[in-house]
Amino acid sequence: MSFIDKRKITFDEKVNIYKALGNKTRLEIFEQILSNGDKSIHKNGMMCITEIASLFSYSMPTISAHIDILRKAGLIKSFREGKKIYVDVDIEKCKKLYEVFSGSILSYEEKKLSQNLV
């Protein structure tokens, strides 16, 4: 059974994900979270948003707004510990998105191959 059989990503969810990653700053933030997870200061491998903000020349409110959009799109998850907010990639949602996207590409390729168009 495929992971996406459990619950498919809706079209609206895909739109929100693509919109979230379609912004250069949000894509950079997302990639920082992906690449710096092993260097995180939290025991759970999550990054503090102040640590993320220190990597950019934007204000903390701007970084927080971008992180909120990524969170609402389901690409990252967050939790608060005292006054600090930590974020991490939502692996399950990202795997689901990958399967949906790669499945669409493979389906398209199969259709083209069956029509001898590739």
Cα–Cα distance, 91 to 12 (Å, whole number): 19
List the domain boundaries for the chain.
9-90
Separation CA 12–CA 2 (nearest Å): 21
Class (C level, CATH) for 9-90: mainly alpha
Tokens at 20, concatenated = 């979230």
Q: Exposed e or buried b for every residue in 27-43, given b needs 16+ CB within 10 A?
A: eebbeebeeebeebebe
Question: Which of 104, 56, 95 minimizes the C-alpha distance to 75?
Answer: 95
**pLDDT tens column, 33-90:** 988 755 555 557 788 999 899 999 999 999 999 999 999 999 999 989 899 899 999 9
What is the chain's mean pLDDT, rounded?
A: 83
pTM assigned to the model = 0.77
